[in-house]
Chain A
Amino acid sequence: MAKRVGMEVSIAAAEAVKQANVDVISAYPITPQTHIVEHLSELVANGELDAEFFCVESEHSALSVCVGAAATGARTFTCTSSQGLALMSEITYIASGLRLPMLMIISNRTLSSPLSIWNDHSDAMSIRDCGWIQFFVENGQEVYDHVFVAYRLGEDRNVLLPVIINMDGFILSHVIEPFELIEQGKIDQFLPPYQPVHRLHPDRPVTMGAFALPSIFAETKKAQEEAIRSSMPKILETWKAFGDMTGRYYHPVETYKAEDADTLLVTMGSCSETASVAVDKMREEGRSVGLVKIRLWRPFPFEDFKKATLHARQLVVIDRAVSVGACGPVAAEVKAALYGEAQRPSVYNFVAGISGRDVTPSDFMKMVDKAEIQIEEGNKEGYEIYGVRG
Chain B
Amino acid sequence: MTKPESEWTWKELPVGNVILEPGNASQYRTGDWKTLKPVLNRELCIHCGLCYIFCPDMAYSLNEESFFIADLFYCKGCGICAKECPTGAISMVLEEEEK
Contact = CB atoms under 8 A, between A and B. Distances in A.
A89 to B, nearest CB: 19
A222 B20 contact: no
Given A198-B14, A220-B13, A223-B13, A210 B19 contact: yes
Contacts of B13: 216, 219-220, 223
Nearest to B14: A198
B15 A99 contact: yes
B22 A205 contact: yes
Secondary structure dominating the interface of A: loop
Interface in B1-58: 5-6, 8-11, 13-20, 22, 28
A133 to B, nearest CB: 15
Contacts of B8: 216, 219
A207 B16 contact: no
A100 interface: yes
B16 A210 contact: no
B76 to A, nearest CB: 16
A288 B28 CA distance: 65
A123 B10 CA distance: 32
Contacts of A189: none
Contacts of B5: 213, 215-216
Most buried by A among B11, B17, B19, B22: B17
A206 B15 CA distance: 12
B16 A100 contact: yes
Contact of B16 (A208, A213, A222): A208
Contact of A216 (B16, B17, B18, B20): B17
Contacts of B17: 97-98, 210, 212, 216, 220, 223
Contacts of A219: 8-10, 13
A97 B16 CA distance: 6
A220 B20 contact: no
A263 to B, nearest CB: 43
A198 B22 contact: no
Interface string A323-346: 000000000000000000000000
Given A98-B17, A207-B18, 15 more contacts: A97-B17, A98-B18, A100-B16, A160-B15, A197-B15, A198-B14, A198-B16, A198-B18, A208-B18, A210-B17, A216-B13, A219-B10, A220-B10, A223-B13, A226-B10
5 contacts: A98-B16, A160-B15, A206-B18, A210-B19, A212-B17
Interface of A: 97-100, 160, 197-198, 205-208, 210, 212-213, 215-216, 219-220, 222-223, 226
